[in-house]
């Protein structure tokens, strides 16, 4: 073996070591390091073989309202609104969903499919002995809510979806509308292993923190405290991985036959008008569409306006 060959082999070995080291580093950062823990004061509910941390407020004799958070948030996004609901006699329930509850982080990506996420909502309602309830969801919570409402018209009194169109309408827009497809590039990026977690978590979750552009410091630290736990960020991103076919092939959730109010911010960069406008075609019950001059984080941007709409919706179908 000549000297040049030895040098090249040495460089190749060194490059391989650097690559392995980089992968291991990304893996460690992306997986999180905080111990698994749920927020203090939350109720633990066993459902579908998992343990969910659920924020429950108000008198259980009041009309139940289940609130579903999206990505990358948690039940704490509803904190202020839950107090407002209880003052008006509602029984407010906000679960940390799969990936966000310490006892609900299955390793199998497929366990984050919408059918399981929707099933969790019904299972939690069953454990709380709720025969019927109002449902409100934002972002991925809205996606879950569309499926819950479509499959359980006997259980859902009314549904209020925030930001995300009916899943069938959004999937169609993803496939047929170039603007929506381009705005959904992050969904395709999330299909990669570990790299999305690393990019979100590096430099003390710098990029993840930047996503919460309208949130106060305490709320942000709460979210980092959850998503920084081991496996939590991967579990949260697995919602995108497990449901990628919803966008590429469609799901056929079916039409919703309960009263629906759909609220959308016209400055939302991720969700374009095509799927929003098409949502009306997937609701057979009474339907109201409200367009707000806001972005994606509507509850943080325009709390009073948004919650005013939500309270009017609930009162109408109480």
For the chain, give every domain's residue range.
43-316
Other beta carbons within 10 Å of 8? 11
pLDDT at 31: 81
* CA-CA-CA-CA dihedral for 73, 144, 27, 225, to nearest 10: 20
pLDDT at residue 241, as a whole number = 97
- pTM confidence score: 0.92
pLDDT (0 to 100) of residue 11: 40
- What is the rounded CA–CA span in Å between residue 254 and residue 19? 46
Positions of the chain with pLDDT lower than 50, given as ranges:
5-9, 11-25
Give the model's pLDDT for residue 33: 84
Reduced 3-state DSSP string for the chain:
CCHHHHHHHHHHHHHHHHHHHHHHHHHHHHHCCECCCCCCCCEEEEECCEEEEEEEECCCCCEEEEEECCCCCCHHHHHHHHHHHHHCCEEEEEECCCCCCCECCCCCHHHHCHHHHHHHHHHHHHHCCCCCEEEEEECHHHHHHHHHHHHCCCCEEEEEEECCCCHHHHHHHHHHCHHHHHHCHHHHHCCCCCHHHHHHHHHHHHHHHHHCCCCCHHHHHHHHHHHCECCHHHHHHHHHHHCHHHHHCCCCCCCECCCEEEEEECCCCCCCHHHHHHHHHHECCCEEEEEECCCCCHHHHCHHHHHHHHHHHHHHCC
pLDDT of residue 5: 45
Give residues with Cβ within 8 angstroms of 22, minimum separation 6.
none
Distance, CA of 113 to CA of 115 (rounded, Å)? 5
Specify the CATH number of the domain 43-316: 3.40.50.1820
The residue count for the chain: 318
């Amino acid at each position: 073996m000549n000297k040049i060959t030895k040098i090249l082999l040495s460089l190749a070995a060194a490059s391989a070591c650097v690559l392995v080291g980089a992968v291991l580093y990304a893996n460690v950062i992306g997986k999180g390091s905080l111990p698994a823990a749920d927020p203090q004061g939350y109720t633990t509910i066993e459902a579908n073989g998992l343990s969910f941390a659920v924020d429950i407020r108000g008198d259980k004799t009041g009309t139940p309202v289940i609130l579903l958070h999206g990505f990358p948030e948690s039940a704490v996004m509803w904190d202020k609104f839950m107090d407002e609901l209880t003052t008006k006699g509602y029984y407010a329930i906000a679960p940390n969903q799969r990936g966000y509850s310490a006892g609900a982080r299955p390793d199998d990506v497929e366990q984050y499919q919408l059918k399981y996420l929707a099933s969790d909502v019904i299972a939690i309602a069953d454990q709380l002995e709720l025969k019927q309830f109002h449902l409100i969801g934002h972002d991925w919570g809205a996606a879950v809510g569309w499926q819950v409402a479509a499959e359980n018209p006997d259980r859902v009194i009314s549904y209020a979806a925030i930001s995300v169109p009916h899943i069938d309408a959004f999937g169609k827009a993803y496939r047929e509308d170039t603007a929506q497809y381009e705005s959904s590039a992050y969904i395709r990026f999330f299909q990669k292993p570990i790299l999305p977690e690393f990019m979100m978590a590096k430099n003390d979750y710098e990029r993840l923190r930047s996503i919460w552009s309208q949130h106060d410091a305490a709320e942000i630290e709460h979210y980092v405290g959850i998503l920084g736990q081991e496996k939590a960020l991967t579990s949260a991103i697995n919602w995108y991985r497990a449901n990628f076919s919803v966008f590429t092939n469609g799901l056929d959730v079916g039409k919703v036959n309960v009263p629906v109010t759909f609220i959308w911010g016209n400055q939302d960069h991720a969700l374009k008008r095509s799927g929003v406008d098409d949502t009306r075609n997937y609701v057979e019950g009474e339907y109201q569409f409200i367009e707000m001059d806001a972005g994606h984080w509507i509850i943080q941007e325009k709390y009073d306006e948004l919650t005013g709409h939500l309270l009017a919706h609930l009162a109408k179908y109480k």
